[in-house]
Amino acid sequence: MRIVVFGANGATGRLLTEQALAARHDVVAVTRRSADFPIAHQRLTVAAADVYDAEAVERAVEGAEVVLSTLGVPFTRKPINVYSDGIGHVATAMSQHGVKRLVVVSSSATEPHHHADGGFLLNRVLQPLVTATIGKTTYADMRRMENLVRSSDLEWTIMRPSGLFDAPAVTKYELHEDQAPGIFTSRADLAASLLEQASDARFIRKAVAVTTSDGAPTLFQMMRREAFKKD
């Protein structure tokens, strides 16, 4: 299968690229800085393209069987449109080339809800604070992206991870339609769930929460890690 990955040079995108190659797929890794891409493989093509550049996106999508998006940007209070504009160009390019299957990464915070595993601190303090402040513009644009994807005639799936963390390997992650009780998702599991959807029709035209239990940090550990993380 020929898989095109947008956002390939991000943390999840690199894992997804490696997993797809290991599964013997042909991969087109799309990134703005192709010279910096750290993976080389005989079945890998690294395509230089900015998702704001409709013509470059169109060239990258040509010949694809499946398009997977791990586009992401850091939180900022400034307006964000990379998700909606980028996936808008991707969807247009897919229609031009007759490519139907699209899987995109969004977030569980696009529809804030009570997490059974979250407790008072997450559900009543942290989640409302983040979604109303530093994550406000990010989640607003993710919602625009989701609406754009839903209105398309593509065979789409929206993947909604929760708090992302790094893990050494893929685990028995859980998939739930729309929402889930879990509060963490490993990047390895997120990548694996994206790749799974490339050939799985169960969640076509649905939003799916993906969560990790095995090896997940506690909420306190995640907060401490973020507090001491170096820029």
**Residue 44: what pLDDT?**
98
The pTM of the full predicted model, rounded to 2 decimals, is: 0.88
**What is residue 120's predicted lDDT score, i.e. its pLDDT?**
44
> Whole-angstrom Cα distance, residue 108 to residue 209?
7
Going 177 to 104 to 216 to 27, the CA torsion angle's sign is positive
Q: Residue 124 has what pLDDT?
A: 47
DSSP string, 78-114: S---HHHHHHHHHHHHHHHHT--EEEEE--GGGS---
pLDDT at 228: 43
Can you read off the two tokens belonging to residue 105?
Answer: 């990464």
pLDDT at 163: 87
3-state secondary structure of 115: coil
Domains located in the chain, CATH noted:
2-227 (3.40.50.720)
Instruction: Return per-residue pLDDT of the chain as tens, 231 residues.
Output: 999 999 999 999 999 999 999 999 999 999 999 999 999 999 999 999 999 999 999 999 999 999 999 999 887 888 899 999 999 999 999 999 999 999 999 998 887 554 555 454 455 445 555 566 666 899 899 999 999 999 999 999 999 998 899 999 999 999 999 777 778 899 999 999 999 999 999 999 999 999 998 877 655 555 545 444 544
What pLDDT score was predicted for residue 178?
Answer: 78
